[in-house]
């Protein structure tokens, strides 16, 4: 079966959840005999690769703008471009996201028997970084995406509640997959390019890995941490998507020298080393369904303090420490530090849960089942 995966920035993964998922899914499917192409954003000709671990790569011909909101328009145009270009060549289009849902009629228009799967991702129209009109458009596009899809993929059971009633019969739950990582021994050499953290040591810091935006509760986390009694530093890994939000965070963090912003880290060995050796992990995501970053924290055997919402509770179950606001999170940070031995069991429990319920073998089998059943 020939499948095109559209909607991420491309692979190898260098940005966020969709890219991580697209890489994990596509590279495993080709090993099982599928012909897979993944759409990618612009790369200069001299640095392009046409194949990655057996997956074909197609590139958008124009360079992305620096401005965040212009980039959003750019990404929408890129998605429409690939819908037009790839539909005729493939048996199945797997579209990640709903931002251009109105244009998902294109596969039906260009090739009658092309099947369309749509991963509806999270509740995009609840993201306050968008103005009211943009959120209205996101909700409308979400509706059209569910209408045009042959099969709707929800990455969390709770996300099926956001599928319109008339299309719920098309909705299937398949989550993201996660692999057990290799153990990365602690090495100070891995830190040599990061002067801010050259003196940290294993089990002696808190960690956040996220895009730095309101729906990930970064301001709540920073405010709570600065108010807590902790003597440990907080390492924050990720990029801002808004200058105004960065200014807000800077104001909150200015009097707390324990908070260290590291930007994005794409060195996977360093990132995994930091995940595997943190004292605890704080996860603030609220509207994204199942977040790959949460699964990654679980597979690294972290004690996880996570925002209390239906998506995170579905993933962590009884083995997360949940917070709802600044004061609650401040108290939970103090509580875990003061009673650390009582929370050690969480490390093994979250590991066992994620390994059982979110393994790539399980996810690939579920996708292959969907491909065969819905393709008859």
Average pLDDT over residues 101-124: 90
Two tokens, residue 248: 């807000």
Going by pLDDT thresholds of 50, 70 and 90, the confidence category of residue 20 is: confident
Residue-wise burial string across 134-170, b where 16 or more C-beta atoms lie within 10 A, e elsewhere? ebebbbebbebbbbbbbbbbbbbebbeebbeeeeeeb
Average pLDDT over residues 238-252: 91
Q: Is the pTM of this model over 0.85?
A: yes
Mean pLDDT estimate for the chain? 92
Q: Which CATH superfamily is domain 188-357 in?
A: Glycogen Phosphorylase B; (3.40.50.2000)
**Rounded to 5 degrees, what angle do the CA atoms 262, 310, 312 make?**
35
- How far is the CA of 43 from the CAs of 137, 223, 298, in angstroms? 29, 38, 33
Is residue 154's pLDDT more than 70? yes
Fold match flag (2-177+359-375 vs 188-357): yes
Two tokens, residue 183: 């153990």
Q: Which CATH superfamily is domain 2-177+359-375 in?
A: Glycogen Phosphorylase B; (3.40.50.2000)
Question: 177 near 290, Cβ under 8 Å?
Answer: no
Is residue 375's pLDDT more than 60? no
Is residue 374's pLDDT more than 50? no
pLDDT at 373: 61
Average pLDDT over residues 150-163: 93
Average pLDDT over residues 297-308: 97
Other beta carbons within 10 angstroms of residue 203's beta carbon come to 11
Determine the Cα–Cα distance for residues 183 and 110; give it in Å rounded to an integer: 48
Two tokens, residue 257: 């020298």
User: Of residues 70 and 351, which shows the higher confidence score?
Assistant: 351
Average pLDDT over residues 5-32: 91
Which range has the worst mean pLDDT, 53-57, 109-113, 126-130, 261-265?
A: 126-130
Percent of the chain with pLDDT over 70: 99
Q: pLDDT digits over 52-79, tens only? A: 999 999 999 999 998 878 888 999 999 9
Nearest to 202 by CA among 238, 232, 180, 236: 232
Nearest to 220 by CA among 308, 327, 331: 327
Question: 11 near 30, Cβ under 8 Å?
Answer: no
Three-state secondary structure readout of the chain: CEEEEECCCCCCCCCCHHHHHHHHHHHHHHHCCCEEEEEECCCCHHHCCCEECCEEEEECCCCCCCCHHHHHHHHHHHHHHHHHHHHHHCCEEEEECCCCHHHCCHHHHHCCCCEEEEECCCCHHHCCCCCHHHHHHHHHHHHHHHHHCCEEEECCHHHHHHCCHHHHHHEEECCCCECCCCCCCCCHHHHCCCHHHCCCCCCCCEEEECCECHHHCHHHHHHHHHHCCCCCCEEEECCECCHHHHHHHHHHHCCCCCEEEEECCCCHHHHHHHHHCCCEEEECCCCCCCCHHHHHHHHCCCCEEEECCHHHHHHHHHHCEEECCHHHHHHHHHHHHHCHHHHCHHHHHHHHHHHHHCEHHHHHHHHHHHHHHHHC
Determine the Cα–Cα distance for residues 19 and 294; give it in Å rounded to an integer: 15
pLDDT at 252: 94
**How far separated are the first and last CA of the chain, in Å rounded?**
12
Domain spans of the chain, in order of start = 2-177+359-375, 188-357
Average pLDDT over residues 214-225: 95
**Rounded to 5 degrees, what angle do the CA atoms 257, 304, 203 make?**
55
The backbone torsions φ and ψ at residue 203, rounded to the nearest 5 degrees and listed phi first, read 60, 25
118 CB burial (10 A radius; 0-12, 13-18, 19+): buried
């Amino acid at each position: 079966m020939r499948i095109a995966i559209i909607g991420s920035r491309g692979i190898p993964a260098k940005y966020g959840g969709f890219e991580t998922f697209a890489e994990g899914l596509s590279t495993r499917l080709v090993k099982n005999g599928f012909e897979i192409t993944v759409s990618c954003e612009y790369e200069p000709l001299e640095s392009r690769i046409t194949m990655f671990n057996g997956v074909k790569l197609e590139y958008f011909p124009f360079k992305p703008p620096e401005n965040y909101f212009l980039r959003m328009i750019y990404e929408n145009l890129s998605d429409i471009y690939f819908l037009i270009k790839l539909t005729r060549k493939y048996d199945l289009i797997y579209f990640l996201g709903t931002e251009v849902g109105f244009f998902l009629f294109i596969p039906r228009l260009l090739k009658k028997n092309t099947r369309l799967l749509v991963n509806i991702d999270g509740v995009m129209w609840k993201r306050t970084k968008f103005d009211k009109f943009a959120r209205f458009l996101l909700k409308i596009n979400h509706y059209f995406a569910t209408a045009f899809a042959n099969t709707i993929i929800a990455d969390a059971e709770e996300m099926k509640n956001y599928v319109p009633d008339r299309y719920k019969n098309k909705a299937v739950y398949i989550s993201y997959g996660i692999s057990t990582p290799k153990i990365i021994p602690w090495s100070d050499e891995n830190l040599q390019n990061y002067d801010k953290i050259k003196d940290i040591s294993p089990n002696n810091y808190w960690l956040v890995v996220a895009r730095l935006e309101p729906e990930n509760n970064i301001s709540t986390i920073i405010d709570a941490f600065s108010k807590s009694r902790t003597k440990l530093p907080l390492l924050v890994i990720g990029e801002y998507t808004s200058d105004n939000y960065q200014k807000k965070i800077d104001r909150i963090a200015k009097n707390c020298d324990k908070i260290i912003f590291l930007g994005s880290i794409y060195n996977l060995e360093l990132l995994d080393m930091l995940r595997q050796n943190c004292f605890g992990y704080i996860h603030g995501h609220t509207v994204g369904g199942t977040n790959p970053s949460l699964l990654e924290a679980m597979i690294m055997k972290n004690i996880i303090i996570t925002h209390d919402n239906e998506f995170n509770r579905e993933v962590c179950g009884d083995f997360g420490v949940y917070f709802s606001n600044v004061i609650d999170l401040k108290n939970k940070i103090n509580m875990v530090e003061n009673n650390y031995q009582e929370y050690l069991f969480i490390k093994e429990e979250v590991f066992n849960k994620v390994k059982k319920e979110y393994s790539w073998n399980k996810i690939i089998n579920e996708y292959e089942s969907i491909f065969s059943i819905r393709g008859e």
